[in-house]
Amino acid sequence: MSRLVIPIGPQHPILKEPISLKVEVEGENITHVDLQIGFVHRGIEKLVESLNWVQAVPLIERICGICSHVHTTTYCQGVEQLAGIEVPKRALYLRTLMCELERIHSHLLWLGIVGRNIGQEAMFMYAWRDRELVMDVMEAFSGGRVSHQANTIGGVRFDPSPAETAAAQKLLAELESKVVALRNIVEHSESFISRTAGMGVMNRDDIRRYGLLGPVARASGVDFDLRRDRPYSVYPELDFKVIVRREGDVWARAMVRVEETMQSIAICHHIINKLPGGAVSVKAPRRVPVGEVISRTEAPRGEVVYYIRSEGGEHPARVKVRTPTLPTLASFPELLQGVSIADMTVIISGADLCIACADR
């Protein structure tokens, strides 16, 4: 049977961000995949070294347009540890609230994209319509839909009034009923299940070999969530359940994400209900003492790792960013091996790639 190489990307309807796949097929089946990334590499790790500690925050926010807040959270948390800054409790609660709102918006965005890529245009429309509710909450809090500028070293830059948090809770309650409807589609819709069940199956060994993280790992039976297993910020004070499934396919990844969305909505209510009073930030010093730190948080796609080193000056000496999409991309050549070309779309979108994060 003749072999054919199909170039997919860097610009292609199935990709929401640019990567290039050279897919070699024999008949309908994929025999080899060459992957190229770096089309949105901006050299942010290098640029950060020429900025001072506070100037770096808005640049780091621009690593990603979906999980921008979690990047600044991880960075600020690391710098605060290095500088020995005691962040006010209210600031930590508000920071965590934005992280969970971001997880809701990221998971709903992903669900819409998967729906579109499997031919369920209605799911795309509903998921993105419902996502607007959480975008409205984030915008009301921070003033921004994509770049929130909510974090600063020493706390947060927004302080919602009781009326604003009550309005947010009303919107979140409305969103909850809509997410229940979406979960029912994912769980019971024959057309959704038939297109996603058994697709892109990864077992626990695959997950471990490639160091895969977040919902992809939890959909393959890996019971690990940094929020619970390496607790940071105020997560030890919050009640939530880590969602784990064992099927390891795209359907399980969808189930994990919709269940996590429900959990995140509950966490947001919990945070707002116990939101302490007081200041939302403390003044940060211009210079950070000599030292190093590894700061980690659970982003919507899994663990984000920041290594930050200070030489005692006004600038970071090194900021290394490891995002969860990078190991996911590394697994693609093996994951797509032997798969029908028609299923490739489902598997790629099922992984929930964030290329801007991976490229930095």
Partner 1 sequence: MHTLITHLGIPPEAVGTIPPGISSIQLPAEALPDAAQYLLNIDQSAYLSAIIVQEWEMNFELIYLFTGNEDLCLRINLSMETPLIQSICRLTPAASFYEREAQEMFGIHFIGLDNPANLLLPENEHNHPMRQSHPEKEA
Closest to partner 1 by CB, 79 or 339: 79
What is the pattern of x (binds partner 1, CB under 8 A) and - over residues 302-341?
Answer: -x-x-x-x-------xx-x-x---xx-xxx--x-------
Q: Per CB under 8 A, which of residues 269..308 are in contact with partner 1?
A: 291-295, 303, 305, 307
Q: By CB under 8 A, is residue 28 in contact with partner 1?
A: no
Of the candidates 184, 180, 204, which has an alpha carbon nearest to the alpha carbon of residue 193?
A: 184
Q: By CB under 8 A, is residue 126 in contact with partner 1?
A: no
Size of the site for partner 1 (CB under 8 A): 39
| Closest CB 132 distance from partner 1, rounded Å | 34
Q: By CB under 8 A, is residue 359 in contact with partner 1?
A: yes
Q: By CB under 8 A, is residue 87 in contact with partner 1?
A: no
| Closest CB 209 distance from partner 1, rounded Å | 5
Distances (CA, A) of 289 to 153, 202, 293: 14, 44, 12
Using CB under 8 A, pick the residue from 75, 158, 210, 251 that binds partner 1: 210
Using CB under 8 A, pick the residue from 16, 89, 157, 209 that binds partner 1: 209
**What are the residues binding partner 1 (CB under 8 A)?**
37-38, 41, 43, 45-46, 49-50, 81-82, 207-211, 222, 224, 230, 291-295, 303, 305, 307, 309, 317-318, 320, 322, 326-327, 329-331, 334, 359-360
